Amino acid sequence: MAENDISIIHPRPSSIVAALYTLRDLNVDVAILHGPPGCSFKHARLLEEDGIHVVTTALDENGFVFGGRDELSSLLEKANEMFNPKLIGVVGTCASMIIGEELREPIQDANLDVPVIEVEVHAGYPNNTKGVLIALESACEAGVIDEEELERQKVLLEEATNVEKRHGAASKEYLVPSRGDLKYKVAEKVINYLKEGKKCLTIMNAKKETGYMFADITVAINEVAAQLGVADNVINMANVDDTLGLPRVRHHATSIMNDFNEKGVPIHEVIGGMDEYPIAGDRVSELIAEKYSDFDFAVITGVPHAIPMDNLKDMDVISVTNGPRQVFPLKDMGHSNVIVEIDLHPKTLGVSNIVESEFGATMREVAKDMLNEEAA
């Protein structure tokens, strides 16, 4: 191995799961996993909470040797009859791909009158974004997305991989998971900063549906600032451009922006779409340099490690992530506090409104206690 090569030894999301989530974002009605019944079970079950039917050909030891062409073809016909889908996806697994199983032939055998996106993928790729890319290329071939969107997604995928290698879960050989700092301590700190009249940037740079919970932290800070009479000291940035991305991604941006408006939270700067978290950092850096360089502190949520520190170095930077292995890389970047929203992903699948976060709830309770003590 070359000196600068990094071999990651802790588990990471697989290309198969990445392909499944991409099919979800394309609004596939049914995804068929061609492999053993337990493959990607947890994520398959979670995706069913998000309104997509996930079924499996349930290959057994006999299928590992002789393949499952007939089983896949029959399941395609059955799924079409049961769910009356408008779009179907078929995803390979390690078992079916290792034996060289072709997906196109059984799809042709089924001869359905709905488009089918075939994703010949296994979990052996170094970067899980490979599963996304294969799914998108097949979607383009099936006419579900155009070439322009495919090329846009390729740029985002390349930068997403680079972000993880620079400061993310692929940055070190092994990253110790951590729950980060205590939420009530960080909440006290943020509230005291607001009471002192310090100027705050909230920066939501969230990945797709995770924005439903990270947006709650933006809401909580604005609520507390309003209670303290310093609402004008808070500037909000968020990647909620609803004109960009795959169909379901645009829907998330519209839903979250509607909730911000309903709750009276102004988004002063839209920094990109909800799939642009790998590149939104450059826009954030430009905006800070142009307009907000005198701010005192920043609370960054979602994918904080994609935001460059160049123009944040004079601020106290607090970040909120959903990745326990992200705590120490963010501390290394210079973030003074890092907190983790555990179980964020299961709570944000299948929803269309902002979901209360642990940190947001903590902020509200700590602020209530502090204000009650002062009033007593």
Please state, in angstroms and rounded to a whole number, the distance separating the CA atoms of residues 375 and 355. 30
pLDDT of residue 376 exceeding 70 = yes
Specify the higher pLDDT residue, 376 or 160.
160
pLDDT digits (tens, 9 = 90+) for 272-328: 999 999 999 999 999 999 999 999 999 999 999 999 999 999 999 999 999 999 999
* Lateral strand order in the sheet of 297-302: 269-270, 234-238, 200-205, 297-302, 316-321, 337-340
Confidence band, pLDDT 50/70/90 cuts, at residue 348: very high
- Look up the pTM and report it: 0.94
Which helix (H) or strand (E) segment holds residue 59: the answer is none
Specify the higher pLDDT residue, 143 or 5.
143
Please state, in angstroms and rounded to a whole number, the distance separating the CA atoms of residues 319 and 275. 19
pLDDT of residue 5 exceeding 70 = no
What is the percent of the chain with per-residue pLDDT over 90, rounded to a whole number? 90
Mean local confidence (pLDDT), 123-152: 95
pLDDT digits (tens, 9 = 90+) for 330-342: 999 999 999 999 9
Mean local confidence (pLDDT), 35-50: 93
Q: Which amino acid makes up residue 330?
A: L
Instruction: Give the tokens for residue 139.
Output: 């979607």
Q: What does the pLDDT read at residue 1?
A: 45
How far is residue 234 CA from its own chain's centroid?
Answer: 25
Q: Which residues pair with 319 in a beta bridge?
A: 300, 338
Q: Choose the weakest-confidence range: 19-33, 80-94, 158-172, 241-255.
A: 158-172
Instruction: Give the tokens for residue 141.
Output: 């071939």
For the four alpha carbons of 268, 271, 277 and 278, in that order, the dihedral sign comes to: negative
pLDDT digits (tens, 9 = 90+) for 44-66: 999 998 999 999 999 999 999 99
Q: What does the pLDDT read at residue 11?
A: 83
For the four alpha carbons of 285, 290, 296 and 302, in that order, the dihedral sign comes to: negative
Confidence band, pLDDT 50/70/90 cuts, at residue 99: very high
Confidence band, pLDDT 50/70/90 cuts, at residue 13: confident
Please state, in angstroms and rounded to a whole number, the distance separating the CA atoms of residues 297 and 196. 12
How high does pLDDT run on average in the chain? 95
Q: Which amino acid makes up residue 325?
A: R
